[in-house]
């Protein structure tokens, strides 16, 4: 696959030009570092102004970022714990798949041996 000439990029929308080549590893790392710098900058900016808070916990600097990150981590661990409960074997839906290699019709009795589906 060839990459288009640079002249073709001028015709693309702005967002497409900004994200051009983001799938390359060096560009993905650049994006990661840029986002890390923005997060640190916003966290430091929280020290620069006085907050008029409703609850005492809100006076803690960067509390919203820390709260968001904590909830994110909790959701990940809950998902890992929930996975064994909701996981199904790989061929769970196979009897009902339209691309199954069996002669049975999709949705027919799983114990059927082939032939015409039930009417």
Q: Check if the beta carbon of residue 105 is closer than 8 Å to that of residue 117.
A: yes
Q: Check if the beta carbon of residue 36 is closer than 8 Å to that of residue 28.
A: no
Please give the pLDDT value at position 2: 59
Tokens of 40: 């640190």
User: pLDDT (tens digit, 9 = 90+) per residue, 102-115?
Assistant: 555 555 666 666 55
Give the domain ranges of the chain.
Answer: 10-45, 52-96
Report the predicted TM-score, pTM, of the whole model to 2 decimal places: 0.51
Report the distance separating Cα 104 and Cα 113, nearest Å. 7
User: pLDDT (tens digit, 9 = 90+) per residue, 8-58?
Assistant: 667 888 888 877 877 788 888 888 999 999 999 998 888 888 888 899 998
Q: Check if the beta carbon of residue 93 is closer than 8 Å to that of residue 102.
A: no
């Amino acid at each position: 696959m060839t990459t288009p000439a640079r002249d073709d990029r001028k015709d693309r929308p702005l967002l497409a030009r900004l994200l051009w080549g983001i799938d390359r590893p060096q560009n993905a790392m650049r994006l990661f570092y840029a986002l890390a710098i923005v997060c640190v900058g916003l966290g430091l900016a929280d020290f620069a102004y006085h907050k008029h808070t409703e609850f005492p916990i809100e006076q803690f600097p960067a509390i919203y970022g820390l709260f968001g990150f904590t909830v994110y981590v909790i959701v990940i661990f809950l998902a890992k714990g929930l996975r064994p409960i909701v996981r199904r074997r790989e061929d769970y839906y196979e009897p009902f798949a339209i691309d199954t290699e069996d002669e049975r019709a999709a949705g027919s009795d799983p114990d059927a041996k082939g032939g015409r589906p039930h009417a």
